[in-house]
Structure 1
Amino acid sequence: MTTLKILLDENIPLTVSWWLLTEGHDVLTVRDVGLSGRSDETLNAYLHREGRILLTLDLDFSDPIKLPVAAGRIVLHPDVTDGELICRMLRRFFALGLPRFGELYVVQPDGIARYDYRA
């Protein structure tokens, strides 16, 4: 399994962070890097600079026109806030060999949409 550099938005439950760490990923939260409450543009610039993939429930990050995709984004369906369900969804997502650098994914309980904006 490939180790991913992931940044968790402040709306992701800590149980997801613990699970990702046990899976061997390099996980930081926006609080860890001093970006809690900062603008989406500031957060996106950090992702680009650090090569991290954002994991968020914020649908603003699903619009690549408003915020160009940096290293990558995983946007979870906003109605899914249960940590255990998120972990199950991510387990299925990772089993597909995803994510790939520079891509945007919208992950829902019933499926995954992938958008590649590396032009």
Structure 2
Amino acid sequence: MSLKLDENLDVRLVSMLRDEGFDVDTVRDEGLSGSSDEVIYQVCRDSRRVLVTLDLDFANPVRYPPEPTEGIVVVRVPRPLLGLIRATLLDALPEIKSGPLKGSLWIVEPGRIRVHEHRKGNGEEESE
């Protein structure tokens, strides 16, 4: 699975994720630091990478619809400390590896993962 770490995540997480078998690059590596959320969203779509971020703006599925993406993972921790972020991600990795990330939004919190479910309109069935 290919991931892109947003600039708000410590680059020391890259080696941990690579050790877990992920193909990881970062917003910083691509020279995209300071780019708008819209640019980061589009780059992830174009490069077919799952965005991993602390930015709660990406938790808004209306503004950043996950359906056309490889997935969006928003890590939500009470304090943005490296140890807490690392532990939260490590706990979630088995589900991330096995779960259907494509087209979905995952909110990863300590001890909990919430998955945004796509709601279909115009008489189509809803997924639950």
- TM-score by structure 2 length? 0.81
Structure 1 residue 113 and structure 2 residue 114: aligned? Answer: yes
Bigger Rg, which one: 2
In structure 2, what is the Cα distance between the partners aligned to 1:47 and 1:75? Answer: 14
- TM-score by structure 1 length? 0.86
Q: Do 1:55 and 1:76's aligned partners in 2 also have CA atoms closer than 8 Å?
A: yes
In structure 2, what is the Cα distance between the partners aligned to 1:20 and 1:93? Answer: 12
Q: Which has the higher contact order (CA 8 A, sep 6+)?
A: 1
Which runs of structure 1 show a deviation greater than 6 angstroms over 4 or more consecutive aligned residues? Answer: none
Q: Do 1:7 and 1:55's aligned partners in 2 also have CA atoms closer than 8 Å?
A: yes
Alignment size in residue pairs: 116
Which structure dedicates a bigger proportion of its chain to strand?
Answer: 1
| Aligned CA-pair RMSD | 1.8
5+ unaligned residues in a row in structure 1: which ranges? none
In structure 1, what is the Cα distance between the partners aligned to 2:17 and 2:44? Answer: 18
In structure 2, what is the Cα distance between the partners aligned to 1:91 and 1:103? Answer: 19
Identity score, percent: 36
